[in-house]
Structure 1
Amino acid sequence: MTGLRDRARRAVRAEVAGIGFGLFAEHGFDQVTADQIAAAAGMSRTSFFRYFPTKEDVVLGHLEEMGEELSAALAARPAGEGAWVALEQAFYDQFGETLEDPDRALRLAKMMQETPALRARHLEKQQKWQELLAPEVARRLRITDDPSDPRARAVTGAALACLDAANVAWMNSKGEKDMRDLIHQVMSTL
């Protein structure tokens, strides 16, 4: 159960992220500073950095929570399901449904493609996803607890690359294509 303090922190983060996203959409990511976002949100620079370690986290901060949700979705798949199928189904659960705000999602995807700093931070976050997902993938591959065995990380990395390819295709279609179909298309190719 989430306490009042956690809910308040999430609400402030969401509000500041919305303000930042609006500034980025209007002026471009690289033209907006953390100080400008803090000022627009009515907070100090110090307070801003208590909520967001980097300016990139204003856009991508939600990815940590998404990684945890994705890990939980993967773990919840039926025990006998193979690793690749379980990953695909977990991706469906997390990313296959119609997005709440497809226009915002498209702007975000475009911003990420056009901004090297965001792409780099996204890759960092996905590395954390890989760390979260690999143990469950290893279990499904029946790999022992040998940290030098690269197979679970390889499978997880390939699946995340498929998810990225599906996302780029979805963005290029301007949100017209169904994300589930795209996920299936790229994952079935491998």
Structure 2
Amino acid sequence: MGTTGLRDRRKRQTRQEISNIATRLFTERGFEDVTIAQVAAAAGVAKMTVTNHFPRKEDLVLDIHEEFAARLGEVVADRRKGESPLAALRRAYFEDLARRDAMLGFSGPDFARLLAGSPTLLARLREIHEEREAPLAAALADELDGFAAALVAAHVVAAHRTLFREVQRRALAGQDHDEIATAVEPLAVRAFDALERLLD
């Protein structure tokens, strides 16, 4: 591995370590009661190192926000030949559900409580959900005009957001991942069936 590759890997490792330590502190003490300086001290790095990796404090917790925002657009852009955008999105959702993917809200009760207990984190989570619309609409633009693509993207993201909240609600109620997946699967079928009817 070259010097650049090693440096990039170390940066990713440092970023993940900082995020893990921050999440543990936030879970123990509450998001609003932990400062960036305290995260830096616990991680053994300078405060500037934390802010270089995470310009927003919320993103210490929601550290996969870029991948999350891009995911739906990527599913449509990379779909199988002959597969419709909605069929690809349906397939991807159930594949992610089978993996109990964190992008669907599978994070465990402690993390769910951390999110639910912080208006700041909930507001950022809403923003990140909304950020999914633009890349999804761009991916749909090959099939639809701009207005229709934006409208479809908004409906798809709304369905995903509603299912995400259901996963989180059940995590807060103490259900484990398998119980949640079993309960959410028929709801996801209903959601995608409704999208099919809406977009028919």
Give TM class, smaller chain.
0.7 to 0.9
In structure 2, how many angstroms separate the alpha carbons of the residues matched to 1:106 and 1:182?
21
Which residue does 2:198 correspond to in 1? none
Matched ranges for 1:4-153 at <5 A: 4-99=6-101, 104-139=107-142, 142-144=143-145, 149-153=146-150
Specify the SS of the correspondent of 1:177: helix
In structure 1, how many angstroms separate the alpha carbons of the residues matched to 2:22 and 2:92?
30
Q: Which amino acid aligns with 1:11?
A: Q
In structure 2, how many angstroms separate the alpha carbons of the residues matched to 1:10 and 1:184?
36
- Assess if the C-alpha contact under 8 Å between 1:70 and 1:91 holds in 2: no
Question: How far did residue 12 of structure 1 move?
Answer: 0.7
1:185 aligns with 2:182: no
In structure 2, how many angstroms separate the alpha carbons of the residues matched to 1:55 and 1:96?
31
In structure 1, how many angstroms separate the alpha carbons of the residues matched to 2:108 and 2:32?
19
1:163 aligns with 2:168: no
Question: How far did residue 14 of structure 1 move?
Answer: 0.8
Taking only aligned residues, the RMSD between alpha carbons, in angstroms, comes to 2.6
In structure 2, how many angstroms separate the alpha carbons of the residues matched to 1:155 and 1:6?
37
- Assess if the C-alpha contact under 8 Å between 2:73 and 2:137 holds in 1: no
> Deviations for 1:63-100, whole angstroms, at most 9, x for unmatched residues?
20233344333322224333322222233344542348
- Assess if the C-alpha contact under 8 Å between 1:24 and 1:32 holds in 2: yes
TM-score, normalized by length of structure 2?
0.78
Specify the SS of the correspondent of 2:83: coil
Percent of residue pairs identical: 31
Structure 1, unmatched stretches of 5+, are none
TM-score, normalized by length of structure 1?
0.82
In structure 2, how many angstroms separate the alpha carbons of the residues matched to 1:99 and 1:91?
9
Aligned residues: 183
> Deviations for 1:91-141, whole angstroms, at most 9, x for unmatched residues?
3344542348x98444333322332211222233233322221122222xx
Q: Which amino acid aligns with 1:56?
A: E
